[in-house]
Structure 1
Amino acid sequence: MASFFQDLWESIFTPGPTPTLLIATNVTFAALQVVLAALLYATFSVHFLILSALSGGLWAAINWFARELKEHQQQEEEKARRAKAAQIPVTSEDSETEVEGVAASSASITRREPPPKEAAVSKEVEAVEAQGELKHRLVPDDGQSQGAKSSVSTEDEWERVSENENEKDK
């Protein structure tokens, strides 16, 4: 029993669902269901029925998630094994071959890895909607600008503002 609690403590710091942690989770949820059933029987309150349903749903979701994680880990391990097995040694007797920036001599063996399926790049081009257009605004006719359009740069506008402020201060 002491080793179970030691394993449980260590499994908290281990990534992923460990068997010890899953056992503790299932025992805890089973005990919670027993307590909620006893309280429902003792009080006939619908609240305990609802709590029991919520608890059961959470219990099922945790077990489902743990199964999915385990299946995903097994698929990743299988992919890694297949990728390792698919690495076929290629020899080159006539010339040097450069693989990933390293030149391999004619006596050496190079391995080629197939590209991962998840890293496939789409060759289709997506059309992007135009967000807005750059519009020139008319500067109000104050006698100095003669109705000219503003420039695209705001630097000139800031200089004009500075000049106007300096003139007001005088």
Structure 2
Amino acid sequence: MASFIEGLWQSIFTPGPTPTLLVATNATFAALQVLLAVLLLATYSIHFLVLSVLCGGLWAAINWFARELKAHQEQEEEKKRRALAARPPPPRAASSSPLDDSETEVEATKSTPSLRRAPSPPVVPAAKPAAVSTVVEPAEPQGELKQRVAEELLPSPSHGHKSGVSTEDEWEKVSENEKDK
């Protein structure tokens, strides 16, 4: 039992439906169906019949999905096997010196013809728009700009510069005005 729980815990972190996870799922749904059947017989409530039908539908859907996913994975593995079998091994030149055997992966892959860059298709220039204006019109001024000047009474490191009064000072003024009310 401990090995089943360990396998179940590991299967949670494994992608795809694992056999351990499917066994646990099927056992849980079977136990739920038994419980709903007992409650239906004990209470004669239609609710337990509806819940049993919903549970059975979900159980069947989960098993169907697991079968489809397994079939898809097998098809993908078959495609990979066919692709590897159809591809010829890269040609290798006969080594004339013992140093050629110590060739690195990068050097080996550069010499394979399958990795050569294919010629790029010719670039076709796009059609130009009929009339494009390159004249920039100046924006109309909407109001006067006011320069912010630091108050002479408050010492600040930016005294005399633009925006000398900080936002914190303004919030302090607001809070002082609210205390006075």
Q: How does 1:106-121 map to 2 (within 5 A)?
A: 110=112, 112=114
Deviations 1:89-116 (A, max 9, x none): 46599xxxxxxxx652xxxxx4649xxx
Higher strand share: 1
Alpha-carbon distance change, 86 to 37 in structure 1, aligned in 2, over 3 angstroms = same
Does structure 2 conserve the Cα–Cα contact (< 8 Å) formed by 1:87 and 1:112? no
User: What's the counterpart of residue 3 of structure 1?
Assistant: 3
Q: Which letter maps to 1:165?
A: G
In 2, distance between residues paired with 1:42 and 1:18? 36
Give, in angstroms, the shift of residue 165 of structure 1: 2.2
Alpha-carbon spacing, 1:67–1:90, altered in 2? closer, same or farther (3 Å):
same
Q: Which residue of 2 aligns with 1:48?
A: 48
1:15 counterpart SS class: coil
Offset of 1:88 from its aligned partner? 1.6
Structure 1 stretches of 4+ moved >6 Å: none
Q: 1:166 and 1:13 mapped to 2: Cα distance? A: 65
The count of residues paired between Structure 1 and Structure 2 equals: 113
Structure 1, gaps ≥5 residues long? 94-101, 105-109, 114-150
Aligned to 1:117: none
Map residues 97-112 of structure 1 onto 2, 5 A cutoff.
103-104=110-111, 110=112, 112=114
Per the alignment, residue 14 of structure 2 pairs with: 14
Aligned residue in 2 for 1:88 = 88
1:32 has 2:25 as partner: no
- For 1:75 and 1:91, the matched residues in 2 are separated by 30
Q: TM-score, normalised by structure 2?
A: 0.55
Rounded Cα–Cα distance in structure 1 between residues aligned with 2:82 and 2:10: 32
Residue from 125, 143, 164 that aligns with 1:165: 143
Return closer, same or farther for 1:91/1:20 CA change in 2, 3 Å cut-off: closer
Identity across the alignment (%): 63
Residue 152 (structure 1) shift: 9.2
Give the match for residue 137 of structure 2: 156
State which structure, 1 or 2, has the greater radius of gyration over its C-alpha atoms.
2
Please tell me the root mean square deviation across aligned C-alpha atoms, in Å: 2.8
Q: Which AA in structure 1 matches 2:137? A: D
Could you give the per-residue CA deviations for residues 108-160 of structure 1, whole angstroms, max 9, x where no partner exists?
A: xx4649xxxxxxxxxxxxxxxxxxxxxxxxxxxxxxxxxxxxx898x736x11
Q: Where do residues 62-77 of structure 1 align in structure 2 (5 Å cutoff)?
A: 62-77=62-77
Q: Deviations over 1:11-65 (max 9, x none)?
A: 1111111100000000000000000011111111110000000000000010011
Say if 1:8 and 1:21, in contact at 8 Å, map to a contact too.
Answer: yes
Structure 1 residues 90 and 9, CA gap change in structure 2 (3 angstroms): closer
- Distance 1:74-1:47 versus aligned 2 partners, 3 A rule: same
The answer for unaligned runs of 5 or more in structure 2 is 94-108, 116-132, 146-181
Are the counterparts in 2 of residues 4 and 20 from structure 1 also a CA contact under 8 Å?
A: yes
